[in-house]
Each structure stands twice: as C-alpha cells, then as structure tokens.
Amino acid sequence: MVVNDTDFVLERIIPRDPSALNQYLSYVYEVRDKESAKKVWERKSAMGVKNSRDEVLRHIEFLIAEGELSGAFQIWKARLQEESLAVSSDGPVTNGGFEKDRILGGGFDWRMGTAPGTEISFDQGDFSEGKRSLKISFNGKENVDFQHVYQYVALKPNTDYLLRAHVKTNGVTTQSGLRIEISGVRSAFHSKSDSLIGDNDWREVVVPFRTLADSQGGLVRIRRESTNKFDRFISGVAWVDDVRLVEDKTGH
C-alpha cells in the first residue's frame, strides 16, 4: 500500500515462489486491482508455475468481473488445451449443444440457477443436434422472470455478429414466451429474438447485433420476461439446442 508499484513489489518484496505469489494475487483480487492481477499472473506464467483449475477459474472470474473478457477468454482457451478438452466450434459460445453438464465450471461455461415454478434439465430424447438438449419446464403457477441460464462470451469491438439457436416449444402459455438475447458487458448494446409461445417444432432463431467500440464481450441469456397481463402464469415446456455465435460477414 505504501509503495503502490506492482513491478517494484514483484521485484523487491515478494519472494519468487508460488505460495507468496498466490498470497499477493489474493490481495490484489480483494482490492480489485486488475492491472496488478494481470502482472502477477504473467509473472507466475514466466516462472512456469502450474496453476490448478480452481486458481485458473478464480483468475478468469476476476477478469470477467472487471470487464476484461478478451484476456479471460484467452486464458480459458489455454486451459482447455492444457486439459486436452475440445475447443468450442460454436465461436465464442462454449458447450452450445449442452452435450456436457460443464466444461471447466464457472468462467465461460453455462451458468444455471433455480427459478420459481421452473425446472431445468437435459433431455436425451429430444434434440436438434448431438445427443441431448436443454429442457425448461414451467409449472403454470408462477409469473416467472426467467433469466437463469446464461453464459459470458468474448466479442470483438465494432463487429457484426449473428447469435443462432434452435428452439422447440410445447404448450407454452401466455404472450410472453421463451427467447434468446444478448447484452453487452460494460457496453450498452442489447438484441433479442422474438419469443416463442404455443407449439413449435425445432426451428432456428437468429439474433443479429453489432458490438460497440468499447466492447469486449457480452452475456447470452435464455429468457422469459414476466408480464403484467391477466394471463401471466406460464406453463409448458421449451427446449434449446445448438447455440452459436458467428461473425456476420454480410454486413447486414
């Protein structure tokens, strides 16, 4: 705190051993000093320190929280390669076909919470590609504001993208159904698909959007908005599969 010079601290104060570096890294996480955190991480890499999965995920989560999604995604991809895990072919999206419960956990994996009147599961009997899909069931007793399945994605600035997903619905009630959306992280852009209600066989929904000059990433969500209409308690089942993000080369 007195010196306030990370380079000096690393060169003159912190012993050159992994334990000391990890203690200092925990400190800079706590004070939310992202530039120092990046320098300490680079020092560990230069020393050939082998980070555990938990240590890598903690650093990635810290960078995401600080809006440094590009750097976090590079570390994520490097860790996938280190563990001999397949790098996603869905562009910035990880596990877009929901083929695995998780890849590394946290970071750029899907995050799934619990919502009232809703059950989230994986369906091995109904899918558009691969061997299973994500299944979301609504029990008809809640006007749920569902935003509990989401994923951070790294994006380029000033770039046109297409967010694609395959969606199926069965008996989804109310005028506020299921849709796919993306919004910027620390960058004000937002785009969404139309919501699907009633019965729909597997169909592709496409969400075009353009990032801003300060964009590093966004948040992909599977969404159902609550509604003030009289018919507001949602029931039915929706499936989502094959979520992908690709650059739109047409410029539309």
Amino acid 201: pLDDT: 98
Amino acid 148: pLDDT: 97
Which string of DSSP letters, residue by residue, matches the chain? --S--HHHIIIIIS-SSHHHHHHHHHHHHHTT-HHHHHHHHHHHHHTT----HHHHHHHHHHHHHTT-HHHHHHHHHHHHHHTTPPPPSBTTBSSTT--SS-SSSSTTS-EE---TTEEEEEESSS-SSTT-EEEEEEESS----EEEEEEEEE--TT-EEEEEEEEEEEEE-SS--BEEEEEESSS--EEEPPPB-EEEEEEEEEEEEE--TT--EEEEEEEE----SSS---EEEEEEEEEEEEE-TT--
Topology at the third CATH level for domain 111-247: Jelly Rolls (2.60.120)
pLDDT digits (tens, 9 = 90+) for 133-181: 999 999 999 999 999 999 999 999 999 999 999 999 999 999 999 999 9
Domain boundaries of the chain, sorted by first residue: 6-82, 111-247
Amino acid 242: pLDDT: 96
